[in-house]
Amino acid sequence: MIGDDQDLLWVIAEQAGGEILPVCLELIGHARKLAIDLGARVEVILLGSKIDHLAGRLISAGADLVYLGNAPDFEPYQPEIFTESITSLAMRNRPQVILIGSTFMGRELAPLLAAKLGTGLTAHCTNLVWGENRLLEQQIPAYGGIMTIVCPEKRPQIATVARGVFPIPDLEEERTGEIVPVEIPQGLETRVKTLKIVHSEPEGVPLETAPLVVAGGAGAGSFEGWQEIQELADTLKAAFGSTRPAVDEGWTDLETMIGQSGKMVNPEVYIGIGLSGEQQHMVGISGAKTMIAINNDPKAPVFDQVDYGIIADCRVFVPALVRKLKELRESSGSAAHDV
Amino acid sequence: MLRIVVCVKAVPEPKAAEDIKIDPVTKSLARMEVPLVINPLDRNALEAALLIKEHDEAHITVISMGPPPAGDIVKECLALGADHGILLSDPAFAGADAFATAYTLAIAIKKIGQQDLVLCGRASSDGATEWVGPELAVFLDLPVVTMVREFAETENATWQVKADIEHGYRIVQVQLPAVFTVTQDLNVPRTLSFSGIIKSRKKEITTWSLEDLAIPANSVGLEGSPTIVSKLEYVESKRECQIIDGTLEEKVEQLISKLIEAGAI
Amino acid sequence: MIDFTFTEEQELFQKAAREFAETKIAPHVPEMEENDETWDPVIKELCEGEMMAITIPEEYGGLGLGYTVRMIALEEIARVSVATAMMMQVGGLGIDPIILFGTDEQKQKYLPGLASGEHFATVAVTEPTGGSDPKGCRTTYRKENGSYVLNGRKCFITNSHIADVQVVLAMDEDNPEAYSTFILEKGMEGFEPTHIEHKIGMRGCNTGEIEMKDCEVPAENLLGPEGKGMRVSMTAISECGRAGMIGCALGLQAACLEAAVKFANERILYGKPISKLQAQQFKIADIKIDLEAGRLLGYRASATHDKGERAGNEYAVAKYFTTEAAQRAAKIAADMHGGYGCMEEYAVTRYVRDSFVLGPSAGTSDIMKVIVSRWALS
């Protein structure tokens, strides 16, 4: 079974609609890399109902063992049941590290676990590497640089990571691993209960997988300006994203926010319009091949972080660009091609 | 009567805070004087409490952990309508991570006495970890719902709330007393009123130090924080920006040709 | 030792006024610029926002906060909309004579409604025959069957069409040396607002004419002693009125400074922002020096007023200084914008137009100098 001297790196996985969320696979892949350095085991906890078929996928992604809770009471997510199950497993098995995706569930569950286990937690990490003595260096962007956070004494070391930070690992179908069933905790007094989940259809092109992203910031100036940028995104058939200041203005909501505590995007081409290039936003754009910025402030930090810059008032430039794009489309007689 | 505690944090004014950066020459933090404001989402939390007080008997205590300037924002909360303010201020509290912050707040809230509701913003604009609310709930041994966008049913001691999920929301039933973290969709926070400022003349702010909380020094502040910052490094940009110049038409055309080159069109 | 800073509470009032101005008034400015007669939304906000209650004593439902807080509020509101600040200032000016000279019955009758914002006030002295010379007043009154009957016309009256409580100065028909002040109410027969003026600046601020044609005013609406009405009207104008203009001017100066600084930091010429050029720096310094001086003069006068002392002279100095300074500030800020300083979308052009209206309001600069020279020579 588990060697006492072997470190355990855990990933708390999440599933929805019969599928593992991509961020979990990414975390398992990264945990695998961390595990190799240390000679550790990767173990994954997945709770839900009718999810037999998912354990194998987790193992293919790199899990040596899957704790599988497969019962109707594990669906939907119930904070007290999940916290109790995972906490008692953690107290018995003492993992070194627990990684959790920065999903809405993860952002509630992670601090509950950290508080129950009396340990530290870092949010929205953009990298995780080993330091000395099995100390996990948890990196986040801050003040224009990279801040490293560690949890020197308490265990486990817990970190949340957003989708798109780490690559999706190759799935090895032949990999084998153990599956350990997890039972519903007995005699648990619950005071909070999810009664119902109401899904809404996401609008537009999904950001995380879009090859072309247009993002707007507070420089749009007004809701009219904002709509003009949205029109550009529509005309280019691009995914449309935003910055925190734009969300704060009320022009859009958190679901479109690109950034450290929002969505990570990985497009071929990124166009940032009317945004200053604030680090919390820019760190959400990993490895875009070509980055372009349009801003009327030549001192805006964004111009240090892109390949092409245009100094212009977006209220003037964006409509002109849209006009020209539409002209081109009409004259070429065909719709713009999807990349 | 509903006893409500609202946790508020003094944060640098968000637009001005963007300017706090690492100096690329000295490689250290170029600190500046930035005005402090109430964390925007905490204003939504306070507004929720004030709306409850408009309809039912309620007593609202606002609590904040921070150095003495944080007292100004507690005063502002009293002017907005809270009944009593508590400032947790002690050099020992400094350097606290979310865990130590939540722990310190929890001890203080226990000292105030039994509460029906503990409200806070989902996250702070300068830390944005979203951890304090749930950790506070664990230390207070209370149920918690994060990202509340609407209080749907609040009739008796069991409430129903709508909380955000990725695409959509979940309806959650909670037994009070409980902790809720709230989003900006919950309400539109009121602004200061002159009569509110006049009424706040009679309201009190109590300041508590470590001694008042009667907990060991190693459970708060930097010492009580499981996580610490080990490094802060400046990072060079890897890209060289080429500015596209010319008239409006020229800029548009050049941009379009770059987009075609990159395969976007 | 003199403390030139606001108290903590005054700072809170300033914060509250700024929040109010930015969230409740600013959104209406474009519409007011577009359509000069769109004042209803901001009047509603002023009333609901407790702005008209500032100087009214608490016992009549007001906030009893005094003239310094009033000036702070006006400065914050003027920074966003001088037109709104002007209507607020003259509204307060219409309230002041009732506070100073009203009988208990009159105070009970009018002040609560004015404090709650249910009613709005103004003062009407100026006529085509004289504003700077209030004795040019040709509106007359005569006694008839225990009431007064007024005839005449007032012009350049702020809030002419909004105010339902109007404090009007008239001359005794039989004795051109005797003046009396009356409280007129909207709806009184023979009293109506007539022509609406369209000013080049402070657009959206209601300025117009009112006419009295055999308007019968009950005896209990006489404000202050009969025949001594000049003092009743002019005391309020010389203190509360001048104070109000100071608040408007300071706010406009502050706005001009912000616009100048912002543009100077963003405008790149010769490879760097023009804020690096000494000539532009000096222009900003000019605006800043005037603003610092104006604030000290204005708040010194209001502090004197709040102590219960006469402050007309101090207000005259400050009114002269700040309204002239605001005109300079607007011109400098517009000049710094170069060609953009002529373009409508740039707020600084609105500041220039607004600044013109500051000078002649509540006493022209020349009249201020008359007052100040009298003070110096006495």
Domain CATH code at residue B92: 3.40.50.620
Residues of chain C contacting residue A298, judged by C-beta atoms under 8 Å apart: 268
**Over 80: is that where the pLDDT of C152 sits?**
yes
- Give me the residue from C9, C50, C69 closest to B195, CB to CB: C50
Which 8-state DSSP code applies to residue C139? -
Taking an 8 Å cut-off on Cβ atoms, the answer to whether A115 and B139 are in contact is yes
Which residues are CB-contacts of C273 (< 8 A; sequence separation ≥ 6)? A299, C264, C265, C266, C267
**Residues of chain B neighbouring A254 (CB-CB closer than 8 A):** 164, 183
Residue pair C129/C117 in contact (Cβ under 8 Å)? The answer is: no
Hey, how many other C-beta atoms are within 10 angstroms of the C-beta on A4? 6
Chains within contact range of chain A (3+ C-beta pairs < 8 Å) = B, C
Quote the CA–CA distance of B108 and B106 in Å, as a whole number.
5
- Cβ–Cβ < 8 Å for A244, B11: no
Contact of B118 with B45, CB cutoff 8 Å: no
pLDDT digits (tens, 9 = 90+) for A164-211: 899 999 999 999 999 999 999 999 999 999 999 998 887 777 898 899
Helix (H, G, I), strand (E, B) or coil at C203: coil
Q: How far is C61 from C63, CA to CA, in rounded Å?
A: 7
- Closest chain A C-alpha to C182 CA, distance in angstroms: 48
CA-to-CA distance for B166 and A17, rounded, in angstroms? Answer: 13
Answer whether residue B155 is part of any domain: yes
Does the beta-carbon distance from B144 to A200 stay under 8 Å?
no
Task: Give me the mean pLDDT over the A272-301 stretch.
Answer: 89
pLDDT attached to residue A203: 74
Q: Which residues contact C168 (CB under 8 A, 6 or more apart)?
A: C123, C124, C139, C150, C154, C181, C182, C183, C184, C210, C212
CA dihedral sign, ordered A259, A260, A264, A266: positive
Decide if B167 and A76 are in contact by the 8 Å CB cutoff. no
More confident of the two residues C311 and A209 = C311
Q: How many CB pairs under 8 A join A and C?
A: 4
Count of domains for chain B: 1
How many CB atoms are located within 10 Å of the residue B198 CB? 17
Domains delineated in chain A: 8-181 (3.40.50.620), 207-338 (3.40.50.1220)
- Residue C254's nearest CA partner among C131, C66, C13, C75 is C75
- Min mean pLDDT across B43-57, B117-131, C192-206, C280-294 is at B117-131
What span, in angstroms and rounded, lies between the C-alpha atoms of C302 and A181?
77
CB contact set of C217 (below 8 Å; sequence gap of 6+): C141, C147, C148, C149, C150, C182, C183, C184, C188
A312 interface with C at CB cutoff 8 Å: no
- Main-chain phi, psi angles of A111, to 5 degrees: -65, -30
- The 10s digit of each residue's pLDDT in C229-273 is 999 999 999 999 999 999 999 999 999 999 999 999 888 888 888
CB contact under 8 A, A308 and B29: no
> What value does the mean pLDDT take over residues A230-237?
93
Give residue-wise pLDDT tens across range B76-135: 999 999 999 999 999 999 989 999 999 999 999 999 999 999 999 998 887 767 899 999
Query: How sure is the predictor about C35, in pLDDT bands with cuts at 50, 70 and 90?
Result: very high
Among the partner residues B133, B227, B235, nearest to A151 by beta-carbon distance? B227
Of B164, B185, B226, the CB nearest to A120: B226
- Cross-chain residue pair B135–A150, CB shorter than 8 Å: no
Identify all chain C residues contacting B72, using CB atoms and an 8 Å cutoff.
8
Cα–Cα dist C284/C291, whole Å? 11
pLDDT surpassing 70 at residue C202: yes
Is the CB of B241 less than 8 angstroms away from the CB of A304? yes
- Output phi, psi for C180, to 5 deg: -135, 155
- Per-residue pLDDT at A49 exceeds 90: yes
Nearest Cβ partner for A308 among B171, B232, B242: B242
Give residue B245's pLDDT: 87
The yes-or-no verdict on residue C32 having pLDDT over 90 is yes
pLDDT interval class at A121 (50, 70, 90) = very high
> Which chain C residues contact residue B201 at CB under 8 A?
9
Enumerate domains of chain C plus CATH numbers.
8-120 (1.10.540.10), 122-227 (2.40.110.10), 231-377 (1.20.140.10)
Q: Give per-residue pLDDT as tens, A240-271.
A: 999 988 988 889 988 899 988 788 898 999 99
Mutate to test the interface with B, among A80, A117, A121 (most CBs of B within 10 A): A121
The answer to whether the Cβ–Cβ distance between B194 and C53 falls below 8 Å is yes
- The model's pLDDT over C128-138, given as tens digits with 9 standing for 90+, comes to 888 888 888 89
Q: Which residue of B has its CA nearest to A244?
A: B125
- As given in the structure block, the two tokens for residue C225 are 């002693």
Q: Name the token pair of C287.
A: 């605006």
Any chain C CB within 8 A of the CB of A299? yes
Cβ neighbours of residue A29 closer than 8 Å, sequence gap 6 or more: A61, A62, A166, A167, A168, A169
pLDDT beyond 70 at C123: yes
B235 contacts in A (CB within 8 Å)?
144-146
Q: What percent of chain A has pLDDT over 70?
A: 96
Write the DSSP symbol of residue C107: H
pLDDT value for A301: 87
**pLDDT for position A1:** 40
Q: What distances in angstroms separate CA B165 from CA A219, A237, B64, one per listed residue?
A: 29, 26, 28
Confidence of residue B24 (pLDDT cuts 50, 70, 90): low
Q: How big is the CA angle at A93 (ends A89 and A99), to the nearest 5 degrees?
A: 75
| pLDDT at site A142 | 83
Inside any domain, residue B249: no
Type of residue at B44: N
Nearest to A154 among B14, B226, B256 (CB): B226
Mean pLDDT for A26-45 is: 95
Whether the pLDDT of residue A62 is over 60: the answer is yes
Q: Residue A156: is the preceding peptide bond cis (ω within 30°)?
A: yes
pLDDT exceeds 70 at position A30 = yes
pLDDT attached to residue C10: 97
Size of interface A-B (CB pairs under 8 A): 244
DSSP states of B3-40 as a string? EEEEE--EEE-HHHHTT-EE-TTT-SEE-----EEE-H
Picking from B191, B193, B202, B243 by the largest number of C CB atoms within 10 A of its own CB, the best residue to mutate is: B191
Q: Which domain holds residue B188?
A: 2-219
* pLDDT level of residue C1 (50, 70, 90 thresholds): low
Express as a percent the part of chain B with pLDDT over 90.
73
pLDDT tens readout for residues B128-164: 678 999 999 999 999 999 999 999 988 889 999 999 9
* pLDDT of A279 strictly over 90: no
At residue A339, the pLDDT reads 42
CA C337 to chain centre: 28
A229: nearest Cα among A308, A317, A170, A144: A317
B190 pLDDT tier (thresholds 50, 70, 90): very high
Q: For B221-248, write each residue's pLDDT tens digit.
A: 999 999 999 988 887 878 889 999 888 8
Q: Both ends of chain B: CA-CA distance in Å?
A: 62
Count how many residues are written for chain C. Answer: 378
> Tell me, what's the pLDDT at B239?
85
Interface confidence, given as ipTM, is 0.91
Interface test with B, best of C14, C15, C58 (most B CBs within 10 A): C15
- Which residues of chain C make contact with B195, given a CB cutoff of 8 A? 50, 63
pLDDT over 60 (residue A2): no
- Report CA-CA distances (Å) from C264 to A20, A185, C258, C278: 54, 66, 10, 11
A298 in reach of chain C (CB within 8 A)? yes
Looking at residue C270, what is its pLDDT? Answer: 86
User: CB pairs below 8 Å between B and C: how many?
Assistant: 40
User: Would you state the pLDDT for residue C135?
Assistant: 83
What's chain A's length in residues?
339
pLDDT bucket at B23, cuts 50 / 70 / 90? low
Mean pLDDT of C112-141: 92
From edge to edge, which strands make up the β-sheet containing B228-234?
A: A127-130, A136-142, A145-150, B228-234
pLDDT in the model for residue A4: 52
**Side chain identity at C255, as an amino acid letter?**
A
CB contact under 8 Å between B194 and C54, yes or no, is: yes
Consecutive H or E run containing A307:
none
pLDDT at B2: 94
Helix (H) or strand (E) holding A87: helix A79-93
Contact A297 C266 (CB under 8 A): yes
By C-alpha distance, the chain A residue nearest B23 is A144
